[in-house]
A and B are shown apart, each in its own frame.
Chain A
């Protein structure tokens, strides 16, 4: 198996269709195949161990992704916005590599000996870099265990780990979830997640295989996103929650005129605030919404909540159906999900434990610590969650984020869900702060929706829905919660910001 198999099929079935770029001057599948071959020449003839991309989205993304697969070296997209120390530390861990990059990073990466840099424009003008021969049609490595992609996890809880995705994981994901040439010629997908996000990798692969034109938005801005949707005839898009929040605000600013051209809008990569998705369902009244849940280590999506469930939840009076908007839906075909307690026992429907996942697309392996799959192939996601009686999965956040108050494990998600059900709360984060009496106490950081709500009213709401142990000791109102650039909530930052509200056991 090799990712190149997907592109070869697309080039053979849809050679003249535009694969990436605008309708007037994009690259066709046949041209993309050609460029990937040229890039493979550069990689193979220069004998490097990896193909790095340290740059925002451009045509270089699919060219380096497929070119590296052809050459048989891992594709390693790096976060080009990282501070110097972090970027250089990651680049230093890659080994010998050719890095396609921008002006600013050309200078930064020049200090890493094993990395040879090439500017994006020079690379796009000549992907082969003057190399000739050494790469022939069909001569890619078909070993399914060949490493396809190395992705650094976002490191919101510690040093980034490099997740290994082998050819078989990514190819299985595509073959089991995407129909070949399933897209019609007028479809186009807007990719606004950066190349170093698993969704950015998956978007290239699934769009190529299904024959849907890729349009890239290098620097996300909600107004540019809306304008691009209209100018490029975008029919499909994937966004992280912070992006949807800003798109919804921007549409609101423009007078709340609904966007009708978008046929399908999927979101994932973090918890979506309930008020935002409800508003989005109004602003995209005929769009098919998909909530996708997945991890870097699982080759992207493992469960999804489909369009029908979204609309049923929007219009239903049934609490169980309305609650589905907070669910990530059901596992993909071929993916198994189980909820287990701390001792590894399977838990019945409704009970909260750790989410475990198994399937062909589940890699669960890191360069630093090897495979985390157990003997039966199950991967512990470190996410807490439960499955309801109808098989819908509810994710309650990272187990590392659990608040331990008075010996009781409290999931921030349950408090946040109740908080945002208040009409004047738009988003909320519950964190644990060191406390002499309780070990940790709960601080709720909330973003008001319009006028600031009364804290006591919010406490009463939480007390009435949950146990009294869940009532925050402090409620703080802020304009915005801290997120990283791919929309993950930075609880670590919040914990630092509000340490002063606790009383450390040592004081």
Chain B
């Protein structure tokens, strides 16, 4: 389990994926490639993503849960897929805000 908080950064332990939390709070079982994610810079990559959890992450994409309570952004891409508890996190729709500066 890790503590979700806007700005918190985590890394996968089975692929190169790294994420930053855009939205989320509280203890969550955040996994990548089926293995628990750890605070960025504190782990190393060992093994590979589990079957069924290897669809990969894409750089700069936002991933969220169905309820909309979690949003994380991939700052480094990798081979594993993201999940919170038993729920796979899916790519959230792109923002359509017009450029303002």
Known: A172-B7, A175-B22. A300 touches B59 (CB 8 A): no
A8 to B60 CA separation, bound complex (whole angstroms): 11
A236 to B98 CA separation, bound complex (whole angstroms): 10
A456 to B59 CA separation, bound complex (whole angstroms): 63
Q: Does A250 contact B (CB under 8 A)?
A: no
Known: A13-B59, A13-B60. A142 touches B9 (CB 8 A): yes
Q: Does A332 contact B (CB under 8 A)?
A: yes
**Cross-chain contact B7 with A177 (CB below 8 angstroms):** no
Partner of B59 from A9, A172, A199, A294 at Cβ < 8 Å: A9
A176 to B94 CA separation, bound complex (whole angstroms): 11
> Which residues of chain B have C-beta atoms less than 8 A from A13's C-beta?
59-60
- Chain A residue with Cβ nearest B73: A175
Interface locus among A81-89, A179-187, A498-506:
A179-187
Q: Does A203 contact B (CB under 8 A)?
A: yes
Decide if the interface of chain A is mainly helix, strand, loop or mixed. Answer: mixed
> Which residues of chain A have C-beta atoms less than 8 A from B66's C-beta?
none
Q: Does B100 contact A (CB under 8 A)?
A: yes
Known: A1-B20, A9-B75, A12-B76. A238 touches B7 (CB 8 A): no
Which of B61, B97, B98 has its CB near the most chain A CB atoms (within 10 A)?
B98
Give how many A residues have a beta carbon under 8 Å from the other chain's beta carbons: 43
Chain B 1-39 interface 0/1 with A at a Cβ cutoff of 8 Å (1 = within): 000001101000000000010100000000000000000
Partner of A266 from B9, B40, B41, B99 at Cβ < 8 Å: B99
Known: A5-B20, A12-B76, A175-B73. A180 touches B59 (CB 8 A): yes
A136 to B88 CA separation, bound complex (whole angstroms): 35
Known: A5-B20, A177-B95, A182-B94. A304 touches B100 (CB 8 A): yes
A222 to B86 CA separation, bound complex (whole angstroms): 58
A8 to B20 CA separation, bound complex (whole angstroms): 14
Known: A13-B59, A180-B59. A1 touches B7 (CB 8 A): yes
Q: Does A429 contact B (CB under 8 A)?
A: no
**Cross-chain contact B100 with A168 (CB below 8 angstroms):** no
Chain A 37-78 interface 0/1 with B at a Cβ cutoff of 8 Å (1 = within): 000000000000000000000000000000000000000000
Q: Does A144 contact B (CB under 8 A)?
A: yes
Q: Does A301 contact B (CB under 8 A)?
A: yes
Decide if the interface of chain B is mainly helix, strand, loop or mixed. Answer: loop
> Which residues of chain A have C-beta atoms less than 8 A from B100's C-beta?
177, 206, 238, 266, 268, 290, 292, 294, 300-301, 304
A304 to B61 CA separation, bound complex (whole angstroms): 24
> Which residues of chain A have C-beta atoms less than 8 A from B46's C-beta?
none
> Which residues of chain B have C-beta atoms less than 8 A from A268's C-beta?
100-101
- Chain A residue with Cβ nearest B59: A13
CB distance from A421 to the nearest CB of B (A): 26
CB distance from B7 to the nearest CB of A (A): 5
- Within residues 59 to 83 of chain B, which ones have a CB less than 8 A from any CB in chain A? 59-61, 73, 75-76
**Cross-chain contact A238 with B101 (CB below 8 angstroms):** yes
- Within residues 387 to 426 of chain A, which ones have a CB less than 8 A from any CB in chain B? none
> Which residues of chain B have C-beta atoms less than 8 A from A304's C-beta?
97-98, 100
Q: Does A306 contact B (CB under 8 A)?
A: yes
A238 to B97 CA separation, bound complex (whole angstroms): 15
> Which residues of chain B have C-beta atoms less than 8 A from A292's C-beta?
100-101
CB distance from A276 to the nearest CB of B (A): 18
**Cross-chain contact B95 with A179 (CB below 8 angstroms):** yes
> Which residues of chain B have C-beta atoms less than 8 A from A203's C-beta?
101
**Cross-chain contact A179 with B94 (CB below 8 angstroms):** yes
> Which residues of chain A have C-beta atoms less than 8 A from B7's C-beta?
1, 144, 168, 171-172
> Which residues of chain B have C-beta atoms less than 8 A from A288's C-beta?
98
Q: Does A360 contact B (CB under 8 A)?
A: yes
A268 to B59 CA separation, bound complex (whole angstroms): 32
**Cross-chain contact B101 with A206 (CB below 8 angstroms):** yes
Partner of B99 from A1, A9, A180, A264 at Cβ < 8 Å: A264
Q: Does A373 contact B (CB under 8 A)?
A: no
Chain B residues with a Cβ under 8 A of chain A: 6-7, 9, 20, 22, 40-41, 59-61, 73, 75-76, 94-95, 97-101
**In the A-B complex, the 10 residue pairs with the closest CB atoms:** A180-B60, A292-B100, A202-B101, A301-B100, A266-B100, A290-B98, A199-B101, A13-B59, A144-B7, A203-B101
Further 17 A-B residue pairs, CB within 8 A, beyond A142-B9, A144-B7, A288-B98: A1-B9, A5-B20, A9-B60, A13-B60, A175-B22, A179-B60, A179-B97, A182-B94, A210-B99, A238-B100, A238-B101, A264-B99, A290-B98, A290-B100, A301-B100, A304-B97, A307-B98
